[in-house]
């Protein structure tokens, strides 16, 4: 007959478990402390690097992008820091000013594109509006994406919508676009015609007519697409937000 463990053995086992638990907590605390010190060390070095290359960060968009990635790797967001060293660097001010200019361009073009503008067209309009004055920093697509993403604080009124490889739209009117809507924009851009038809979506995406018409009708109702009835065979759905892109690539 197997003997049951005595009270002393049970207490000894509990003490050992508590000892292992305490040791585990101690190891975790030590690791956390070491990581915290390493991050603080990286942050100090990052500040020294930024101070040394301040002018290049401001003037060179590619260098600025790489610097942002360095910041993100250690959990530092210079755009959200309004005090101390980062405010002296002035990066946050640059992006907030750029965000305001993005809003101005979007509002000025809403009646033409229904509140949907490609990142490329947005950049061209901003460069033209800013002029060639020396005090204006060069802006890249990455800069515009970062500035536009700050506008999400206004809710669904401003969204960054990816379509195709490395392409983005800025939506400046309330409303959500589904994956189907993004797929349609991708096809309209890929065809370099700025329009699609139901039969074209059937051919490229293998969609049923009802699915295509539902998605296209929503885009038309939102003012993001125009219907062309001149083709005797079927309707064409044009996207004014893609006109500039397709003209430049044709």
Place of tokens 């910041």: 71
Which tokens is 117 given?
């503008």
pLDDT at 136: 55
Residues in the chain with pLDDT < 70?
A: 1-12, 16, 19-28, 30-32, 34-43, 74-92, 131-137, 153-157, 247-250
What does the DSSP 8-state code read for residue 242?
Answer: G
Estimate the share of the chain in helix, then strand, then coil, as percent rounded to the nearest 5. Answer: 65, 10, 25
pLDDT at 239: 92
**236 close to 188: Cβ distance less than 8 angstroms:** no
The residue among 4, 91, 113 whose CA lies nearest residue 46 is 91
How much is the pLDDT for 30?
Answer: 66
Extract the tokens encoding 83. 């005090």
pLDDT of residue 206: 94
Domains defined along the chain, listed by start: 34-74 (no CATH), 90-173 (1.10.10.10), 177-250 (1.10.10.10)
Q: How far is CA 204 from the centre of its chain?
A: 27
> Which pLDDT tens digit goes with each residue over 103-139?
889 888 888 888 889 999 999 998 888 765 544 567 8
> Which residues touch 193 (CB under 8 Å, ≥6 apart)?
246
């Amino acid at each position: 007959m197997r003997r049951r463990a005595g009270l002393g053995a049970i207490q000894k086992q509990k003490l050992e478990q508590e000892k292992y638990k305490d040791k585990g907590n101690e190891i975790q605390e030590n690791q956390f402390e070491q990581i915290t010190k390493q991050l603080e060390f990286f942050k100090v070095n990052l500040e020294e690097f930024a101070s040394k290359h301040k002018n290049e960060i401001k003037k060179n968009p590619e260098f600025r992008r790489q610097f942002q990635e360095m910041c993100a790797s250690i959990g530092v967001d210079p755009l959200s820091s309004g005090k101390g060293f980062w405010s002296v660097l002035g990066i946050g001010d640059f992006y907030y000013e750029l965000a305001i200019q993005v809003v101005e361009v979007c509002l000025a073009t809403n009646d033409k594109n229904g509140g949907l503008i490609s990142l490329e067209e947005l950049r061209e309009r901003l460069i033209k509006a800013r002029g060639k004055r020396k005090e204006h920093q060069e802006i890249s697509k990455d800069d515009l994406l970062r500035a536009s993403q700050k506008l999400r604080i206004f809710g669904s009124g401003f969204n960054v919508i990816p379509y195709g490889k490395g392409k983005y739209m800025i939506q400046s009117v309330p409303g959500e676009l589904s994956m189907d809507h993004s797929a349609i924009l991708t096809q309209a851009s890929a065809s370099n015609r700025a329009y699609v038809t139901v039969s074209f979506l059937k051919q490229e995406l293998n969609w049923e007519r009802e699915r295509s018409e539902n998605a296209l009708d929503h885009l038309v109702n939102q003012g993001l697409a125009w219907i062309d009835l001149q083709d005797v065979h079927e309707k064409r759905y044009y996207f004014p937000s893609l006109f500039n892109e397709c003209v430049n690539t044709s």
